[in-house]
Chains A and B, each alone.
Chain A
Amino acid sequence: MSDHVDGPRSIGDPAADLSDLFAFTSPENADRTVLVANVFPSAGATAVFSNAVNHSLVVRRASVAGMGEAAKFKTGDQEYRFSCRFGVLEPGTDGAAPIQRGTCTLPDGQSLPFVVNDEKGAKTPDGVFRVFAGLRSDPFYLAWLVANLKEFPNLLQHDNVLCIVIEFDTRHVLDPSEGSLFGVIAETSPIPRSGGFIGHDPPRFDWVGRPEQTNMRLNNPALAGTDDLRDLWNQQTPFAIPEELQPLFRKRLVDSLANWDMRDGIADWTPAALAATANVYLDDFLLFDGSKPMSDTSFLEIEKSTLHGRAYQTGGGRTVNANVIDIMLTWMVNNDREFLQGGATGATQPGGNTFPYLAPPNTQLQTVSDTVDVLAPPDQVWALIGAFGGTWHPLIAKIELTGTGIGQLRTIETIDGKQIIERLEAIDNSKRLYRYEMISGIPASDYTGTLDVTPKGPGSSVEWRVQYRANGQPNIIVKTVVTELLKTGLASLRSRFGAPK
């Protein structure tokens, strides 16, 4: 038997990949703090946590150790660590989806068990702690092509993530009377093994403090020819970047920030201010102060005020709905001279005001696609099916068009008396392709169809593809309707034009 080495270029477990960290005061109860860590970017509808990863959120008390160009935040040694681990999949009852359980070890040593995707989460008996873990709509949105700073629709639209939400009584757990400013990081690390060789396992897989420390600042895509420092950064211990590596990371941050400053061709930062900001970024933890108000716009206010040599006014942090990318880009590119609004003003779904604060997962778009090869040349086939009001489909009795060009509507009457209304979204006769959106008539939302004809051998290939979200119906019902529609239509083309042998 022969086998070949053609594996993928990189193999990692996306469930160990941290995407975001949030810290904010609970909208439900101002006495409680909420920390959220997300893993598994673009997780699928049935995603679950890795059972080989320890997920930790670590808080340390912080203090302002310098202002203005000497701005510095120091953290204490004491850690408040929340660590979540997850089990293997357990069979669901009566054919239900498998179940995953987890346990969160709290700073006081208690263990709090929970079931993944249980919206109510789990509470300690005294109500001090509450934990949720499961699939939710990704609250992060990035609506730029970062390499050339071009606006773009949200690149994470309809994405989901696996999230861990930890809520606790701020006074009881963090004792803000000793100082109300804190830094928090999240990390994923191997689960310690009894009997494992010391030094075998990596200290951690990933960690995150402020957003985009790695992808936008340390690995600024516009700094061509530089080494990628992200792996090295991820191997460092949070709150304790070694002194010998600090010059390397500091220089990269300065270079990167200088590049960001010039993205609009205008120098808005002085070299001294850039250097001071790089120093602040080097201490990479998300700052929050529960004694002050936190809002969707307070993100980075603590850092900015301190760099400007004045006392901060807000609790900083990062709320679920904070537009962090645009806030960060505006600061880096034009030093807050003019707000840079990307191509989206919110995530797919906004976060809510009640536990667990992140919106439920987005329903996955379903795709039904079918293709038929026919003997006729593409132009001949397109002449028949390329007309938006054409009545070539055997299941269609009549079509009425309203309007012309893009945006026109077709009202379809099917042979069994149903009515479907669709709107033309795009047409390209040179590519022999049109796209339409269903307005009513099929119990689905976000329903779009694409029909195209391409040359194939001596004839053509016709592809018809429909995407939708099942709307209050079991998907199988909608899928059956759509599949029948496509199959019958394409089969009629094969009968009409003949099929290649």
Chain B
Amino acid sequence: MIDAAPAFEIDFAPATAGDIANNNLESARQQAWSRFWQAPERPGLAELILEQEQLAAQFLGDLGALDRLETLVHQLARADAESARTWLIHAQVASMTHRFAEARDYLAQAEALGLLAGDAKRLSLGIDQACATRLDWVLEVRRGLAAESGHLEDLVPLGALLADLGEFDEADRIYHRALREYRGVSPFALAWVCFQLGVLWGELVPEALSSRAALWYRQAIKYLPCYVKARVHLSEIYLHSGDVADAESLLVPVVSTGDPEVSWRLADVLKAMGRPTESEEEMRRARSGFETLLVKYLLAFADHGAEFYSGIGNDSLRAFELAKVNLANRPTLRAFEQAHVTAVGAGESEAASEILIAAEKRWGGTPAFAVSALARGRCHRD
């Protein structure tokens, strides 16, 4: 059993039931596509589809959304190649699949075609944050946006940035503010914040507080029972605390999404339950799923793939190779940490030392580095 956790002292806002929101998203998404095929250049429509597909991918584990977005940008380019919005949407889709260099090129093209500075700035911020570049500027702008609008969609990225910078308590306060000040009834929004709080306390702080993280993941799932990522993360906590039956019951209902992370975690759980044949089957399914995704969307799934192969995927060289791809694409502290761990796992001690030196050079002066696994690694080295 996981440790008893403190009860929430939060007055959780009511939201539309998760199954209603899920049903409405799916039907509206299909309706939007139906309209798109009739008139792809219709103002606002491609933008609506982009948001709906983002929701489907982020919350429902619907990875087909990525293929559909590729179709969207392809069709939009054919229908309306000379408009700034076409290239902005190209940039947004590229950014979503972590093709950040491409995204910057598309964004420049959109700006050349007259994209409003505000729209360009917002996406630039996201790219810089994901790539850990110009973080001082990103933080200043994020704080300004959050102060100005107070909207959840401005507060959550600020919280995430603060967490990346090691400012965990402030990140927690920002996420709580997002929950407190949200003025809608979308369970997607509220579940998103709860999930971020789960990640904060379960994975980002130096000493994970699993019981606190579990509370947040559970609340995210309460808002949105189909929230695949939240189920996956909560199942990891259950697995590590020995609650394997609970972990299995979280994962089994979402295996049908085809998300390889679900099969991966289920393989772990089944192994722990002493069901090796079923575990092996799920592991094969996960491996096949990851390889398919890595062929199509290498940069988007390189870090996930690296973690899979360094664990039950049992291919330390592949893990290191993918971690390097991810690190080259966006040298975040977490990317350095992962690359270092996988280098060590692959027996590449020289490469591991080089990664450590590079990480220290880039992140050494930050509070986040001071509490990172890399800093601990440095101490061991010293």
A interface residue numbers (CB < 8 A to B): 1-16, 40, 42-53, 88-89, 98, 145, 153, 155, 157-160, 190-191, 193, 195-197, 200-202, 205, 364-367, 431, 433, 452, 454, 465, 467
Contact = CB atoms under 8 A, between A and B. Distances in A.
Interface of B: 11, 13-17, 19-21, 23-24, 26-35, 37-39, 42-43, 48, 50-51, 54-55, 58, 74, 78, 95-96, 98, 122, 126, 129-130, 151-153, 156-157, 160, 180, 183-186, 188-189, 192, 195-196, 199, 203, 229, 232-233, 236, 261, 303-304, 307, 334-335, 338
Contacts of A9: 51, 122, 153
**Chain B interface, DSSP helix/strand/loop, else mixed:** helix
Contact of A89 (B17, B184, B186): B17
Nearest to A193: B14
Contact of B19 (A89, A145, A159): A89
Given A14-B24, A15-B16, A155-B43, 6 more contacts: A15-B24, A44-B27, A153-B39, A205-B183, A205-B184, A467-B37
A205 B184 CA distance: 7
Nearest to A461: B74
Among B16, B20, B29, which residue has the most Cβ atoms of chain A within 10 A?
B20
Contacts of A201: 13
B338 A47 contact: no
A454 B23 CA distance: 35
B130 A16 contact: no
A8 B54 contact: yes
Nearest to A86: B20
Contact of B157 (A5, A11, A46, A50): A5
The 6 closest A-B pairs by CB, nearest first: A44-B27, A11-B189, A5-B160, A50-B16, A44-B31, A52-B185
A14 B31 CA distance: 14
Given A145-B43, A465-B37, A47 B14 contact: no
Among B15, B17, B232, which residue has the most Cβ atoms of chain A within 10 A?
B17
Given A13-B186, A48-B23, A50-B20, A155 B42 contact: yes
Contact of B54 (A7, A44, A47, A431): A7
A127 B4 CA distance: 57
Given A1-B233, A145-B43, A43 B95 contact: no
B54 A6 contact: yes
Contacts of B203: 1
B192 A202 contact: no
Contact of B27 (A7, A11, A46): A46
Contacts, number: 171
Contacts of B98: 4
B304 A2 contact: yes
A170 to B, nearest CB: 33
A47 B16 CA distance: 13
B37 A52 contact: no
A15 B51 CA distance: 16
Nearest to B126: A6
Contacts of B17: 51-52, 88-89
A205 B16 CA distance: 13
B356 to A, nearest CB: 19
Given A8-B153, A42-B31, A45-B31, A13 B51 contact: no
Contacts of A195: 11
B68 to A, nearest CB: 10
Contacts of A467: 34, 37-38
B184 A16 contact: yes
A43 B27 contact: yes
B24 A88 contact: no
B185 A16 contact: yes
B24 A40 contact: yes
Given A6-B96, A43-B24, A50 B185 contact: yes
Contacts of A7: 54, 58, 153, 156, 192
A176 B58 CA distance: 54
Given A3-B199, A46-B27, A365-B34, A13 B16 contact: yes
Among B15, B24, B156, which residue has the most Cβ atoms of chain A within 10 A?
B24
B313 to A, nearest CB: 14
B54 A202 contact: no
A177 B122 CA distance: 57
Contacts of B153: 7-11
A89 B38 CA distance: 32
A469 to B, nearest CB: 10
13 contacts: A1-B236, A4-B130, A5-B157, A5-B160, A7-B153, A11-B55, A11-B152, A42-B28, A42-B48, A44-B30, A47-B27, A190-B14, A365-B34
Contacts of A14: 24, 28
A454 B74 CA distance: 10
A196 B11 CA distance: 7
B33 to A, nearest CB: 7
